[in-house]
Amino acid sequence: MRHAVYGLPPVDLAEVPGDAVQVSPLIPGSARLEDLPDGSLDAATVLAPPGTVERRYVLAHTLRALVPGGRMIALAPKDRGGARLAKELAAFDCPAADEPRRHHRICRLARPPDAAGHGDAIDEGGPRHVDNLALCTQPGIFSWDRLDPGTALLLANLPPLKGRGADLGCGLGILSRAILGSPAVTALTLVEVDRRAVEMAQRNVADPRATIVWADIRVAGTVPGSLDFVVMNPPFHDGGTEDQALGRTFIARAAEALRKGGTLWLVANAHLPYETALGAAFRDVSVTIQAGGYRVYEARK
């Protein structure tokens, strides 16, 4: 029996076999859900993502990959898409038993042979080119259809860089494209935990100086050393919950990767208390600009 799991469902809400194939784009090394052949799964467990377009895309691909009669468990927090799960599955002609438990909704179903509507949801949630960004992107990626204001502020205040550097949490590659506009940059490593963003960055950053890595920054050894500069707009949410420790980990990884005298350029929401972490890891720290609820820091090791 072949079983796939999307995400990390709470173990007390959904049992997942130890040999299940992980297909989440947010877990480096996972298989691609999109690559599973039609009818190749006997069962699937899905911790459905919160975004409507992204969630329907994942549900549609999972139903496509299930054999007729294959079992699916789909669950999500009630306030992060769970309340709509049963209705969305019904739109694919897949009626589901809907159970509330521990602030989640859990839907169970057997895939009917005449499940329908997969193609439209897959097309809607798939990669596309967005003209206002002039980039390839996909729903579910951070700020997938707009330039987020923090990145915009950093772009507007980033000087021409030189030498070897890294873009941590590179997303679609917006910062990296600007950085590589400087001919003095000799190499740039882009690190990103979202496989979809990695795939889009590979399309958006077509430069032989760029190396794009699918990795979790929390894992040691993901960033090369002796760098001249690091840029980043670090996330401060994990699974929908604010996690300031994640930003502090980004700062620590940058400090480890930079040579003595190397520089970190960081943009963050002004309310985030990163000054202590920056002061502990860097010799000189200054706020280059504060505007629109964001701060740009320059920190020299």
pLDDT in tens, 238-258: 666 767 889 999 999 999 999
Cα Rg of the chain, angstroms: 21
Q: Which of 254, 265, 243 is nearest to 161 (CA)?
A: 265
pLDDT band with cut points at 50, 70 and 90 for residue 285: very high
Residues 6+ apart with CB under 8 A from 274: 247, 248, 251, 266, 268, 297
Q: Which two tokens stand for residue 155?
A: 């772009």
Q: Which two tokens stand for residue 37?
A: 């052949």
How confident is the model at residue 118, as a pLDDT?
A: 86
Indicate the pTM of the whole model. 0.95
Decide: residue 3, CB within 10 A, 0-12 exposed, 13-18 middle, 19+ buried. Answer: middle
112: pLDDT strictly greater than 80: yes
Domains and CATH numbers, the chain: 3-125 (3.40.50.150), 128-300 (3.40.50.150)
